[in-house]
Copies of this chain bind each other. A is one copy, B any other.
Amino acid sequence: MGGDHGLKTTVPACLSALKKFPDLHICLVGIAKDIEQFLTAHKTSYDTTRLSIVNANEIVEMDESPALALRNKKDSSMRVAINLVKSGDVDACVSAGNTGALMATSKFVLKTLNEIDRPAIVYAIPSLDRKTKKMNPVYMLDLGANVNCSSEQLFQFGIMGSVLAANLKGTERPRVALLNIGEEEMKGLDSIKQAAKMLQNCDHINYIGYVEGNDIFSAKADVIVCDGFAGNIALKTMEGTAKLIADMLKDSFNNSIFSKLAMLISAPVLTGLKRKLDTNQYNGASLLGLRGIVIKSHGGASAEAFETAIYEAIKEIKYNIPQKTQAQIERIMQS
């Protein structure tokens, strides 16, 4: 039910994903009659054995207080969906709903892994390896769940991110870095300096030091750890800069008849670039550190983008991310 466009994006995305993955089962959680009506109205054919509907009578609004949603909406589509993860009826939950409510509800219902204080939001950021000229996304966390983080929490994010990158990128020893405002050891917040020591001393983590904001995009690291405040500032700044350049590019090409002509000729090149940077291909943030898989789609995601978030869930199920993370944490705590 969530996101800016509700069923119009989530349902077509699910139907498309079902076609592509013959083993996939999807359970649509929400106002059952609305979902049924939508499916009927759109005369979509689908494998009824692999698509089920679970009714939920309430909806968490996009701007609702997470604490109130958690307390008052026990029959919301979000809560019911996360309950299904908890009971083991489903392997993962994907939502385009209210991020704060999704985080609060997931944490309350699923709980965090042993030795993990708080879950973090992680997302694969486009990053370009200038040597190979290939895109090499970097997993950045936390992107906004935790405003203040202790050094212990940053250390835990390092472990969580490292397990995710090792499995999803297939890198044996993913390079883990801390986001800071200088590369020198003495710089930055105390929590970061202390976390650096902890990461440095951990044999199970390939810690490479500090990186700065501009290094996010140069594929220097596979995992970048930061508190949710810095992470969210970086993520939003990134979005804003990309939009500024896109708008200016558009304006530049609309300036004169000559530049409109240039635009026509360059269109395929620019479309190729747009596709590379497309949020449709970079949708699906993971709520990491929980005893279960919860994926957050961008609220404004298109059906195509929401489908990408479903694939993110499939990958995390395939690689058993929560279990592998728990095992790694226990290994580290015992050593």
Contact across chains for B181 and A232 when beta carbons are under 8 A apart: yes
Shortest CB distance A125–B (Å): 10
A212 at the interface (CB under 8 A from B): yes
Q: Are B269 and A259 in contact (CB under 8 A)?
A: yes
Interface of A is mostly: helix
Residue from B215, B229, B233, B251 within 8 A of A240 (CB atoms): B215
- Given A244-B126, A265-B266, the answer on whether A255 and B237 have CB atoms closer than 8 Å is no
Interface size class of A (residues with CB under 8 A): 35 or more
Kindly state whether residue A201 has any CB partner on chain B within 8 Å: no
User: Which residue, A128, A218, A269, has most C-beta atoms of chain B within 10 A?
Assistant: A269
Q: Known contacts being A189-B229, A248-B128, A277-B245, is A269 close to B240, with CB within 8 Å?
A: no
With both beta carbons as reference points, the residue of chain B lying nearest to A270 in the complex is identified as B252
Most interface-central of A214, A234, A244, A262 (chain B CB within 10 A): A244
User: Which residues of A248-273 are within 8 A (CB) of B?
Assistant: 248-249, 251-253, 255, 258-259, 261-263, 265-266, 268-270, 272-273
A72 within 8 A of partner (CB)? no
Please name all residues of chain B whose beta carbon is closer than 8 Å to the beta carbon of A229 when the two chains form the complex.
181, 188-189, 230
Beta-carbon contacts under 8 Å, A188-221 to B: 188-189, 212-218
- Inter-chain contact B234/A233, CB cutoff 8 Å: yes
Kindly list chain B residues whose C-beta atoms are within 8 Å of the C-beta of A147.
Answer: 181, 187-189
A144: nearest residue on chain B (CB-CB)?
B181
| A contact set with B: CB distance below 8 Å | 126-128, 130, 133, 144, 147-148, 179, 181, 187-189, 212-218, 226, 228-230, 232-245, 247-249, 251-253, 255, 258-259, 261-263, 265-266, 268-270, 272-273, 276-277
